[in-house]
Structure 1
Amino acid sequence: MTDTGQPTRPSAIAGYGDWPAYVQQHARYHAATAAAQELADALGVPGALPSPDVTVHWEETHDGVTTSQLGWQLGFGPRSTGWLIRPAGASGPVPGILALHCHGGNKFGGADRLVELPESHPSAENARAGHYDGRALATDLARAGFAVLAHDTFGWGSRRFDLSVPPRRTAAALEARQAQWRQDGVVPSGADVYNAAAGFHEETLARTAGLLGTSLAGMVAHDDLAALEILAALPDVDQERLGCIGFSGGGGRSLALAVLSHRIKSYVVTCMMTTFQALLPAFLDAHSWLLQTPGLWRLGDWPELTARAGASRLLVQYALADQLFPEDGMRNAHRILESLHSPESYTGSFWPGGHIFTAGMQREAIDFLSASLGANDLNTLPPFSYQGPCS
């Protein structure tokens, strides 16, 4: 209770009480080019601190790869967890990949959905089954000859907000969801409850970020840039052969990172490419704040942002029955990309099916990154169930 006898209002950013001060003190990320700087300013990416100290929590070698759980503390919020997966026994510097997890409506977990772990939380297993065709993308990339870092980004997994006492708007919406669960006879898991709360809370995060002069996408990019610096600093990683890959919201992160950092030489965007016009009016509510940063369209259409990247190779994978994008928006984006890039620098592939990163799409993406960045022979990979792209 307050001195006036009113109930104490819970924090809307619990676990991140130091976030506003950090943004105020590190107000601007400095990109290498004017074109990249415009995107950084539009997203409100805060300036990054020097690479943080990284702690290795555990390490094990199994089935051809060595997996290490890492941790580091950025300048605000909870500690970050990441997993470094690399080919066991590799000699000499190998190319590096930042594997960027999707949104997926699952903020309880983060990058653990991309990694084969001794023990996986059910939320990670469900995300992998529902969005990645049951495969652990980061581990498969390591088996193909890459050093792969998969990290929890701002708002996900180890970097999630504390919603144990949700702020009032979130609490009211969550109460309605829980009432529906009770009526339906559903007993939600702790992850289910958190993810429901986090879905409602994202509106509060977007408002808070806007007040601070940043955005959800800008804060996520901040964490991604820090992770990229950690990857680049590893002694067995070739700094001149770095790439990134992401599905859905991770695909948006991949595009943004390729623009913001000159380190990225090749990248993959899967199921996250359309024109902004195609989202109007029916598809606006199909997407999170990761895509819909206020004012972003002023810089150009979504596919046009790729022209701001210094990366030399880009693969975009489209799913023709994607529930989040109309087909005409994807095909128009493809035409724009073909007009902006040479056939040697841009590859677009259309796949049957919905909003899923299928095993066949993953194999194509790994092949593409291997050819672009010079990884090892892909014959080291286990068999994939493969259905090729369509026209």
Structure 2
Amino acid sequence: MKKYLLLVFIIVVDLLVVMPSLAQKRGKYEFKRNLPVYADSLIKDLTYPLAWGNSDIKDFDVWRKVARQKVFDCMLTPPPAPADGFQMKVLAEEQRDGYKARKIEIRLSRYYTVPAYLLIPDGKGPFPAVNALHDHGAHLFIGKEKMIRPLACEDSLVRADAQQWADQLYEGRFVGDDLARHGYVVFSADAPMWGERGQQEGPKRDRYDMIAGNMMMYGIDLSAYMTYDDIAGTEFLASLPEVDAERIGCMGCSMGGYRAWMLSALSDRIKAGAAVCWMVTTDEQMSFNYSRTENGGFANCFPGLRRWLDYPHVASMACPKAMLFINGSQDKLFPVPGVEKAFKVMHDTWKSQGANEKLETELWDIPHSCPVRAQERVLQFFQKNL
């Protein structure tokens, strides 16, 4: 009986500790739905003075150079390059239908090596190549395995998880493998915090922002490290003898789409880029106009950049390259008015350079996903432009 009463007492004490924290609300507050209550005022003060058309710079090449440097400044300290260049180690290899699949490890920085997959078509190269950039999905257990079917050397949990993710977001198809079957060298690496670059304790989405904040204490931006690695990974791809360095593209869905247009804007190696389900303007994305606000947080955040350039202004640095953007009218993450505004900003830029035919923007009746028909549209785009 005494043990029972003691147990009840402990439970009651625990409830008293927990319940007030759940119920504690003040009559006045300054934040709601993850935004400051003065979000509309902040948006009105975003004038984007460095955007093409807003800037005093009239020469497009000069503008791109200046605007790029501003982006790099906001990306904070870059990871130091490896002392002896890219060093690749092949960890496993297997023959697939028309191409070889390799698991590799590359030293992209003096700080770390990066696990990646590399697909090389059978036959005589050099081949066109694609940097396949994986998504976010609030699912960090796998990274590169979202784009390329895992090799047999991987744990059965990884293989099963990758197939489940492909079924969920890509209608069961591994995008990278399909591109390799069509004659492209395909590279896909884990972004920081995903797959084999994750947390020792296991993937915990709620820890991402805390780790990103801690990284800033070193003068480092975690999202920027992802972009820096995408740039370095593309340089590595261009160095391979199997690759035609003049025919390199990139693609991705969701955060992978964000990575694709960022990489296209910041790397001269990329000749064509395709982004599925990631483009919008800040005034729509970060407002209270819709039931959902930005959830990416630190995954696409460069300190201070919005004071200079909006998302489509950064993407416009890719002009006059060939670019494909597909967004979904049923995509709850990106309000259609913001998507349409962003498309217009980019078309105005490509038109100003006499290259509007190189920019393809499409709004499909799909949710936040990359169905097979979108993958085939991307393949068609690469066949035309690479």
Distance of aligned partners of 1:259 and 1:302 in 2 relative to their CA distance in 1, 3 Å threshold: same
Cα distance in 2 for partners of 1:46, 1:318 equals 31
Q: Give 2:129's aligned residue.
A: 96
Output one character per residue of 1:215-252: Cα deviation in whole Å (capped at 9) or x when no partner: 22201112212211211110010111111111111111
Check whether the contact 1:101–1:111 (CA below 8 A) recurs between aligned residues.
yes
2:236 aligned to 216, 223, 230, which one?
230
What RMSD over aligned residues (CA atoms) do the two structures have, in Å? 1.9
Taking the TM superposition and a 5 Å limit, the aligned residue runs for 1:1-391 are 33-44=65-76, 46-50=78-82, 51-75=85-109, 79-89=113-123, 91-119=124-152, 121-162=159-200, 164=201, 194-195=202-203, 197=204, 199-279=205-285, 280-281=287-288, 282=290, 283-309=292-318, 312-341=321-350, 342-373=355-386
Note the C-alpha offset of 1:155.
Answer: 1.2
- Give secondary structure in 1 for the equivalent of 2:217: helix
Q: Counterparts of 2:271 and 2:68 in 1: how far apart (Å)?
A: 15
What SS class does the counterpart of residue 299 from structure 2 fall into? Answer: coil
| C-alpha contact 1:102 1:249 (8 A) present in aligned 2 | yes
Cα separation, partners in 2 of 1:309 and 1:209, compared to 1, 3 Å: farther
Return the letter of the residue paired with 1:138: G
Query: Matched residues, percent identical?
Result: 29
TM-score (norm 2): 0.75
3-state DSSP of counterpart to 1:149: strand
Structure 1 stretch displaced more, 279-288 or 314-323: 279-288
Shift of 1:54: 0.2
Structure 1 moving runs of 4+ over 6 Å: none
Cα deviations by residue, 1:232-289 (Å, 9 ceiling, x for unpaired): 1100101111111111111111121112211111101110001111111344343232
Q: Is the 8 A contact 1:273 1:318 kept in 2?
A: yes
Which runs of no fewer than 5 residues in structure 2 stay unpaired? 1-63, 153-157
Aligned-residue offset at 1:294 = 3.3
SS of 2:260 mapped into structure 1 = helix
Residue aligned with 2:173, SS = coil
- Residues 315 and 48 of structure 1, relative CA distance in 2, 3 Å threshold: farther
**Aligned partners of 1:311, 1:202: CA distance in 2, in Å?**
35
Q: 1:56 to 1:244 in 2, by over 3 A?
A: same
Q: Secondary structure at the match of 1:201?
A: helix
Q: Are the equivalent residues in 2 in contact too, given 1:45–1:221 (CA < 8 A)?
A: no
Q: Give the direction of change, closer, same or farther, for the CA distance of 1:320–1:218 in structure 2 (3 Å limit).
A: same
Give the superposition deviation at 1:161. 2.5
CA distance 1:268–1:158, change in 2 (3 Å): same
User: In 2, are the aligned partners of 1:97 and 1:146 still within 8 Å (CA)?
Assistant: yes
The whole-number CA distance in structure 2 between the counterparts of 1:45 and 1:305 is 19
Q: TM-score, normalised by structure 1?
A: 0.75
How far apart in 1 are the matches of 2:276 and 2:308? 22
Question: 2:150, 2:162 within 8 Å by CA — same for their partners in 1?
Answer: no
User: What amino acid maps onto 2:328 in structure 1?
Assistant: A
Point out where structure 1 has 5 or more consecutive residues left out of the alignment.
1-31, 165-193, 374-391
| AA matched with 1:43 | M
Q: How many residues align?
A: 309
The residue type equivalent to 2:128 in the other structure is P
- Equivalents in 2 of 1:362, 1:116: separation in Å? 15
Residues 165-210 of structure 1, C-alpha deviations (whole Å, 9 max, x = no match)? xxxxxxxxxxxxxxxxxxxxxxxxxxxxx33x2x111111221233
Letter in 2 for 1:286: N
1:83-142, CA deviations, whole angstroms, 9 ceiling, x for partnerless residues?
1112212x1311111000001111111111211234452221222111111110111111
Q: Which structure's CA Rg is the greater one?
A: 2
In 1, Cα distance between the equivalents of 2:151 and 2:187? Answer: 17
Shifted more, 254-263 versus 46-55: the winner is 46-55
Letter of the 1:53 partner, please give it: Q
